[in-house]
Structure 1
């Protein structure tokens, strides 16, 4: 049932905005400064949401509803003004009010900084989930870190990525509510003394710790219709005033200040560089800080209405978003055993029944492992608890599988070797009642490969919940022209029930609707062309095919495969082997991790290839190559509605799900992709005629890796199209003034170093691109396919995903397992 949107009159909104101009900003109500209008409008919305938060909390208290706590190191929430106006039913009133004053609402929205609270899909998914929980009236709350600096601002210098500080909090953030009265005191470092209690039992004492203060900042999260407003709680780190004063009174002022600065550094930056020892330690401290603050707060809230922990799993569901919050297992055990004196067995029962784990990757480097020595230094008591969990767990496994030493080695929480490591994914698995993958293919891979031993032990714990995106952000807000057309055609029920888009199918071959649909796509392409022109001084033809590959720069996402296709096509044209029949604009965006050399080389390669092609008069307007810097949520909202073709070409078996693929589908782009992640389910929904699939399947790649049968050098000799492209790298065609710059690509392939199977998938990729070009020339049929993609994207709503979580994990009766 679609929630009723509480409308607000323009006069009431104007009065509120004028009030905040005067009283919050000390400005005249006649101020026409866009920044002033953004802040005063945001303050007006926050006032409304603050009252709604209190109403929502009273409703939760009265019903004693179970609360869901979503722990994530990232929340890529994007700009909030437009999304909040839509969800509160105030967007039209605000737009009309500003228009009457001669002000464009889009210029006001541009004044908001993108919050630097995440990097990519993981954090954006978390943001979508918060929106859906509030819209579905679920008592769901996020816990994260109040980073002062985001990942980085990406600038391009001669084709190279340069990282600049992203101090998104340099300007006033009008959304957050600082809650110093609910701060947490967190112990860290120190040592363990081994004592016995009066009954002779082991009683370890954690001594000489330092203290960190967790200061909460709440950001309201309004569900669509405004009935439910939950919150995202972000913790900033500060130093303990009492601790610092003690040092100060001892006469060491500078050491007191140094302590304060060191404590506050913990939440300075998202993703500190972990290639150095200090950065690795800071990353671990961040993860511990998040779970320690969150669990203290969750328990504090629970104990307001309960005298003991008997009802804790019935009142709290804690979801760990990937391995980053997996220390929640050890921290919850520490709190229950050490601070609340529960017996170990009862504490473990509560921990397992409360916690659940979402896995987001099959990449080995993303399944976190921490050196035992580092945990011993930073959180020595937690290391003790992890060892005890592991000891009891392995005893039970050995009892079920006597003599299977290799199994014990594989499932152990501790990886033996020269440097002993704690396997954080194993900790999360053992300490949870549920583990889920995020697409059908991904979950199958977890069961059959990464976590096959655990699946054999606990098949009932494994579930699949395919990711989703919120249509309020990625259609209603990002593509307002298309949203209006859909609403005018089938009503606005799709805003809270995306399956309603199926009602568009009969319109997929109706001329009037098709004309309007394609006109909206062209308008979106014109808008993106202007952004490209303003940013890069490059003229783009909006009638060209917009072929878009935007995502984090990583080898497995195979930006290189796309570049190789562009080079192949360019060389065909200039050598007279092909007459272009479709003008194409290739658009890239994405950030490379600062220490990831290959990814940064990909950015340089894209720019060099673009420079050669864009300046070659023989090409004229047949091809253009674009790299838009500093990819963000707000930039994605402009790119995605303009896409004709969505590139989802990761090596099969590597992408857990993807959510960018869903956003493109929802906005009427056709997908070219491998059978990877959610592409598999997108194929099932869209139909084989409305998506372009190519390349090896995940099981085929896994078999070749196992047998070690792939030799990229052989493909160079067998296929002239591969040889032509690799020779271009060798011969410096795209680096004439930087000799040898890209020869490393040629040499890697010739040395059989192609771990992501670029060359094996290259010829099938060229074939599917030829098919795409032919189909794009039939504009009516192409438009029909894009409309059907929109109509069949309903499964990929985060509302559906959250309903699945609620049914399969959060409110499922958890039985005590045998392990």
Structure 2
């Protein structure tokens, strides 16, 4: 049905009329989208079945990637692209008077993630399938994803995100594969044939129902699976709860991503979500393996389970529970299999992000799992004592359970065979500082796998104009082999290529300017520098440093008539977690500054500030191709890797950043003349944290630029804000500026001045842009996934 334009049109029209019982002329864009989606799913169904059958028949080792987030974005466009049928579909629809882009825009973003963690998982799935590797995702089918962000009077307001309002054309519900998950209750011990056995009784049952989505590789017959679990009531209701209460509590498990955990009720729900994900996923994996092999004694030879951050770490005690209680294995056999099946990626150096669960919540909710974790901890502490007799402090710091808390990162390290960071700097910090004691104990477990992004979505799909220019210049081998982008290097100084590159960038800036006007009503200068910071709103990412610099520029323009800058449009996009009030104040600050700057006729020819609400994957696909400057300004040592920096780089933006995360590897790739680096190094930051010596007051008093902008947070400069920015002011002065915003301010201003000067040397800027694109192939998730496949999972491509 996709072999020719005519055949496609005939099938499309017939299918639409059959599905909706109406003539094509009466159909809506939604009808057309669903029809096309169903056709694509039917088109790939045979290959989807064959992929699973091939995996089973050849008994190849498979990886299951467990993640609390999968930030997929829209799928129609990328699926058409990966299948190689986009042109036929686009032409056929055009002849029917339908705009494919309009159909694509009617699709809701599958917003099952918060930011980099979830988008990385989505990129990894794309690369696994495109490299013909047997790898599947396991996540939760959140009814509402994160939230839809509205900006009202400059403040973030959260609305339920309704991505499933019209159903999901890509999913297949598989009720027959549901897994029963147990909470609460108690554990009964008994001796059977001289062996101590455990039964989890009087528990509250929940059904995990799988919805499978195809993961389509680029130009390959491999169709892997993303299995998302939905929480539904079991057939037997708990007798101590009303039917409505049980139903409500059950459905809440898969209702929202990251429920507010300020109070115990929210903490219980989060822990429920995490166990629900792993119990369903591990149960499903084990059931499939048992059906094929009859036993679990060689599970680790056929299955790799990867936990993406600490959220799915309960996979370790859950697999132990199955091996001990259901298979009747000895502890030693079960532990050998578990610790050779599970691998772990750490994504943070922030201590508050390393999950710790209070025992008073953990033990009653998951009684058998807690017993197993307690036993893992006992045996591990005994092992530590044998290695380090008398070193109580070391053992206390490394224990999994200590001070009435269960430390999930410690459990992850102890119960896995591989622990990796996601950039060279991040992995070094883990080994030398955050996880130093564990690295000394198990140096062979630790390794680095620098993050990557799928160039198919972030270049080929998001920026067809640039992709076409690259194909016309060096051919299309880079689509399958992204490292071939380096073949652009000879064109760095080519005047004709530079001219075309400048045209592409201008075209994308025009498109984004149109979106900005539609969304905000603000007209921006398309010739200005588009200086962009789009990412999750967090203090360590330092959107505040960016804002204070804009305030400084505004002050200079107002006070000094001889001062001017090359026109600059500062673009922000960010969501703050609903309970993160400090971050929400930063959003208000950005919007208050935008109101002031954009309405000031004295300055608005040179300076504009834009906050694009509801930042998401589909909006990101419009922003990255249009950016000139990529703001990657986190406090050095705090950003594990970053992947936005790679997406900007791939689209020809120049990084303005600190020596943090993967910025360092981008610097190594492009050279210091093709990037703008400023600020403290990670070593200097960590030295301050260790030895003290930083006093933000000194920078406030001795740099009048800093004093002016900091004072403006509280002196009425923003008349609409009242005392709303006092906590920001206090964080900088009373709390000694934890993320060194004032310390890096002067260095940042200087780097921004360099940006302005270099941008005006158009030939030089376009050379820099070309160098960045040419070196971006290394940062494809294809490279990252190949490293995981070879170095951690030991999986091979599927033949045939």
TM range (shorter): over 0.9
What does residue 229 of structure 2 align with? Answer: 235
- Indicate yes or no: 2:779 matched with 1:796: yes
Deviation for aligned residue 1:353: 0.2
Which deviations, in whole Å up to 9, do the C-alpha atoms of 1:641-688 show, x marking residues without a partner?
A: 000000000000000000000000000100000000000000001111
Structure 2 contact 422–640 (Cα < 8 Å) conserved: yes
Query: Which one of 204, 209, 219 corresponds to residue 203 of structure 2?
Result: 209
What SS does the aligned partner of 2:645 have? Answer: helix
What SS does the aligned partner of 1:549 have? Answer: strand
- Indicate yes or no: 2:621 matched with 1:627: no
What does residue 641 of structure 1 align with? Answer: 625
Which deviations, in whole Å up to 9, do the C-alpha atoms of 1:16-37 show, x marking residues without a partner?
A: 3224312333332445522111
Query: 5 Å matches for 1:177-576?
Result: 177-199=172-194, 201-241=195-235, 243-244=236-237, 255-416=242-403, 420-576=404-560
Query: Which one of 659, 670, 678 corresponds to residue 643 of structure 2?
Result: 659
Unaligned runs of 5+ in 1: 1-5, 814-819
What does residue 604 of structure 1 align with? Answer: 588
Deviation for aligned residue 1:755: 0.3
Structure 1 contact 732–741 (Cα < 8 Å) conserved: no
* Change in CA separation of 1:133 and 1:7 when aligned onto 2, cut-off 3 Å: farther
Structure 2 contact 129–223 (Cα < 8 Å) conserved: yes
What does residue 765 of structure 2 align with? Answer: 782
What SS does the aligned partner of 1:148 have? Answer: coil
Deviation for aligned residue 1:576: 1.1
Which deviations, in whole Å up to 9, do the C-alpha atoms of 1:84-129 show, x marking residues without a partner?
A: 0000011111111122223221111110001121110000000000
Unaligned runs of 5+ in 2: none
Structure 1 contact 89–226 (Cα < 8 Å) conserved: no
- Indicate yes or no: 2:53 matched with 1:65: no
What does residue 765 of structure 1 align with? Answer: 748
What does residue 702 of structure 1 align with? Answer: 686
- Counterpart Cα distance in 2 of 1:231 and 1:540: 43
Structure 1 contact 438–466 (Cα < 8 Å) conserved: yes
* Change in CA separation of 1:176 and 1:580 when aligned onto 2, cut-off 3 Å: same
- Indicate yes or no: 2:5 matched with 1:17: no
* Change in CA separation of 1:749 and 1:577 when aligned onto 2, cut-off 3 Å: farther
Structure 2 contact 111–616 (Cα < 8 Å) conserved: no
Query: 5 Å matches for 1:6-155?
Result: 8-31=3-26, 33-155=28-150
- Counterpart Cα distance in 1 of 2:14 and 2:399: 61
- Counterpart Cα distance in 1 of 2:621 and 2:586: 24
What does residue 572 of structure 2 align with? Answer: 588
- Counterpart Cα distance in 1 of 2:85 and 2:498: 30
- Counterpart Cα distance in 2 of 1:541 and 1:435: 47
- Counterpart Cα distance in 2 of 1:186 and 1:297: 11
- Counterpart Cα distance in 2 of 1:520 and 1:317: 43
- Counterpart Cα distance in 1 of 2:452 and 2:43: 28
Deviation for aligned residue 1:750: 2.9
Deviation for aligned residue 1:409: 0.3
What SS does the aligned partner of 2:292 have? Answer: coil
What does residue 175 of structure 1 align with? Answer: 170
* Change in CA separation of 1:621 and 1:462 when aligned onto 2, cut-off 3 Å: same
Structure 1 contact 7–88 (Cα < 8 Å) conserved: no
Deviation for aligned residue 1:7: 7.0
What SS does the aligned partner of 1:382 have? Answer: helix
Question: What is the number of equivalent residue pairs in this alignment?
Answer: 796
Deviation for aligned residue 1:202: 3.3
What SS does the aligned partner of 2:713 have? Answer: helix
- Counterpart Cα distance in 2 of 1:750 and 1:85: 53
Which deviations, in whole Å up to 9, do the C-alpha atoms of 1:259-310 show, x marking residues without a partner?
A: 2332222111111111122111010000000000001110111112212223
What SS does the aligned partner of 1:336 have? Answer: helix
Q: How large is the RMSD of aligned CA atoms in angstroms?
A: 1.6
* Change in CA separation of 1:205 and 1:301 when aligned onto 2, cut-off 3 Å: closer
Structure 1 contact 674–695 (Cα < 8 Å) conserved: yes
Structure 1 contact 557–649 (Cα < 8 Å) conserved: yes
- Counterpart Cα distance in 1 of 2:420 and 2:727: 39
Structure 1 contact 117–146 (Cα < 8 Å) conserved: yes
Which deviations, in whole Å up to 9, do the C-alpha atoms of 1:202-230 show, x marking residues without a partner?
A: 33332101111110000100000141001
- Counterpart Cα distance in 2 of 1:123 and 1:415: 30
Which 4+ runs in 1 deviate beyond 6 A? none
* Change in CA separation of 1:310 and 1:289 when aligned onto 2, cut-off 3 Å: same
Which deviations, in whole Å up to 9, do the C-alpha atoms of 1:545-568 show, x marking residues without a partner?
A: 000010000000000000011000
Deviation for aligned residue 1:578: 5.1
* Change in CA separation of 1:19 and 1:461 when aligned onto 2, cut-off 3 Å: farther
